[in-house]
Chain A
Amino acid sequence: MNAAWLATVWLVGGTAAGLISRRLGGRRAVGAIAVLLLAGASLLTLRAGAGRSPLIDTGPYLSREAGGLLAAAAAALALCLLLAERVDGLEVVGVGAVGAAVVLVVSTTSPLLYGVAALLAVMALSLRWMASAPGPATLAAARVAGVGAASLIAASVFLPVSSQEVPTRAGPALVGGLLVTGVITLVALVPVGGWVAGAVARLRAVDIATWQFLIAPAMLITAALIPTSLPGSGRLAFRDTILVAGLLSAIWAGVQSLRPGVPSRYGRLAAGDLALVAAAIGTGQAVAVTGGLLLIVTHLVAGPVLLQPPAAGLETPRRLLWWAVSGLPPSPAFWGRLLILRACAGIGGPTLIPCVAACGLLALAAVLVVARGEGEGGAPTVPVRAVLAWGLCGLALAAGLMPLVAVHAVFGAAA
């Protein structure tokens, strides 16, 4: 199965599961099983081994990194569905549509298809968000992120940048600027990240997770490859901008997540960690990218529980998962942030100081929640959800004790 077929499977499977579960009932179970099947289908598309038939195995394949991300994200989304208090079935349709576009984003080698797929992902996500919670905050997702995806499409017209380009011409810098605008918009970095911050307070866990587990990590792992295809000034424009925007966003997210009574504190903290991943890409160092991948794994494990509102009976596992994202050793977030700090220290003080500040603020926000708790829980949870939450705690502990094993398990040995 190639990537085009996989995208079709995501789209048709998600739509069918959503509509069937709305008609026949069992929305939570049908949705979770369908998304888990999509995770399995993603693993079938990995490029591995030899002896493939050229007649049936044509077309682009997923890299190990991209396929691992898709499978892990689908598994995390299935857990989100199982842990949710209420499921209306249409979440799975949204997951399928966004996932199909994300499959194209991570598998294509065409800059134009990359931009078009990003636009389709944004439009599917924003239509789902607007249908779920109509309002200015969710409309902003389509407005701002749509412009970001459009800038990726525009950049494709200028690619590849001619090697004979006159140095005074602005072509390479323009392409770098368009690409970085698209990436920082879709990853929701400062100054264009307000669309996610505004929406997370209004949406339910699965809808937020569709961006946090699928779109943002997909953009980040593909953004890490972009600088190699740009000439000097374009590469500089891309890396410097994403580094600065990532660090500023992480600091801003840290400050916001420290505010008392802020809605969706975890959503802001996760956005801060994704911003650190973007900054890691900006450093251009492999060790930082590995740290970023570990942060993505951390939130794939902790997110399905922490994106849900607090519930009675889940206080202890939630506290353990807050510890996992706190950055205190030996939490997985600690190793991820440490690797990014190390890369920033290699660049110099102007990069290291904001990185230390960002990591400190994010750690403080999480530690305060671990120390104080999250207040009164909601309705008592069912035992199955408690078991799932404890299972995720075990995974988080394992990822903290064996961070490289966790990264390699999800993204492959080359990560």
Chain B
Amino acid sequence: MNDPLLDSLAFVGALVAVFVDQRRAVLFACVAVAVCLAPTAAALGGGWAALLLAVAAAATGLAGELAGRLRSWVTPRLGTGPRMPVAAAADSLFGPRSLRAVAALVALPAASWISFNASVGAVAGVQGLLFPPTFTFLCGAIRLLLARNVRDLAVGVAVVALAVAVGWFLRGGSAPLPVAAGVAVLAPVAAVVAEWLGGRDRPDRVPEGAG
């Protein structure tokens, strides 16, 4: 598979991660990133690397669903829920998303520059293959930086984790698969936190800064 195709796939996946909102955003972002980075991971680390991303996305969905089911077991209480905006109004097409779009536009040349000017590799330097994980990482960082609630934060952490896992295959070194798996575990953890808090949040609370 050629580099432009890998880059284009990663671009699409990262854009989905930047724009996805509402409930199950963590799962949708993880699936999009995993599907679009899987060819890059396979090219760098073989079939097991691609499988790792698929397993991470599946685990994110499963763990999030299980944590969501627990909401019926807990008493709603005052707290910070993932759907509760604490810094901005509720989700809308224009506004928060347009900020993310502008930031992603800035991230595009930044990722390209890093890909051509920095080398990665514990054993031998590798250049030019960095764009897919770098752009995905920057989009995850954008979700973190522009987060308005806990769910946005969880999306950011999950996307960053998957991007770094793929970057680790590029780095090589000894036993990259277990290390990458260790980083990818952050994605289901983020989903669990977001869904668990969703179960514990009292829906009638209007937090400071909302609206």
Contacts and interface: CB of A to CB of B under 8 A. Distances in A.
Interface stretch (A5-13, A166-174, A279-287, A316-324): A166-174
Chain B residues touching A, range: 35 or more
B183 interface: yes
B193 interface: yes
Q: Interface SS of chain A: helix, strand, loop or mixed?
A: helix
A179 to B, nearest CB: 14
Interface centre among A116, A134, A144, A158 (most CB of B within 10 A): A134
Interface in B113-163: 114, 117-122, 124-125, 133, 137, 140-141, 144-150, 153, 156-157, 160
A119 B145 CA distance: 14
A169 B182 CA distance: 30
Contacts of B59: none
B209 interface: yes
A127 B148 CA distance: 13
Given A134-B207, A157-B168, A143 B86 contact: no
Interface string B172-188: 00000001001100100
A158 B120 contact: yes
A393 B90 CA distance: 49
A174 B122 contact: no
Contact of B164 (A134, A139, A146, A154): A154
Contacts of A164: 125
Interface string A126-158: 110011001110111011101100110110111
B87 to A, nearest CB: 4
Interface in B59-96: 79-80, 84, 86-87
Chain A residues touching B, range: 20 to 34
Contacts of B153: 123, 126, 142-143, 146
A112 B168 contact: yes
B164 A130 contact: no
Nearest to B77: A131
A171 B80 contact: no
A136 B84 CA distance: 12
Nearest to A123: B157
Contact of B87 (A126, A139, A146, A153): A139
A157 B208 contact: no
Contacts of A174: 114, 117-118
B171 interface: yes
Contacts of B26: none
Interface centre among A116, A143, A151, A169 (most CB of B within 10 A): A143
Interface in A336-386: none
A58 interface: no
Contact of B86 (A136, A150, A160, A169): A136
B170 interface: yes
A146 B141 CA distance: 8
Contact of A157 (B87, B120, B144): B120
Interface in A106-122: 112, 116, 119
A346 B190 CA distance: 47
A61 B118 CA distance: 33
Given A146-B144, A157-B167, A162 B160 contact: no
A147 B150 CA distance: 14
A136 B208 CA distance: 8
Given A139-B86, A150-B160, A170-B118, A116 B146 contact: no
A129 B5 CA distance: 43
Interface of A: 112, 116, 119, 123, 126-127, 130-131, 134-136, 138-140, 142-144, 146-147, 150-151, 153-154, 156-158, 160, 162, 164-165, 169-171, 174
Given A162-B121, A171-B119, 13 more contacts: A126-B153, A130-B80, A134-B79, A134-B207, A134-B208, A139-B86, A142-B144, A150-B144, A150-B160, A157-B170, A169-B118, A170-B117, A170-B118
- Rank and list the top 10 A-B pairs by shortest CB-CB distance, nearest first: A130-B80, A135-B208, A170-B117, A157-B167, A136-B87, A134-B207, A171-B118, A146-B144, A136-B209, A139-B86
24 contacts: A112-B182, A116-B183, A116-B186, A123-B153, A126-B153, A127-B80, A135-B208, A135-B209, A136-B209, A140-B87, A142-B153, A143-B144, A143-B153, A144-B145, A146-B144, A146-B147, A150-B137, A150-B156, A158-B118, A158-B120, A162-B121, A162-B124, A171-B118, A171-B125
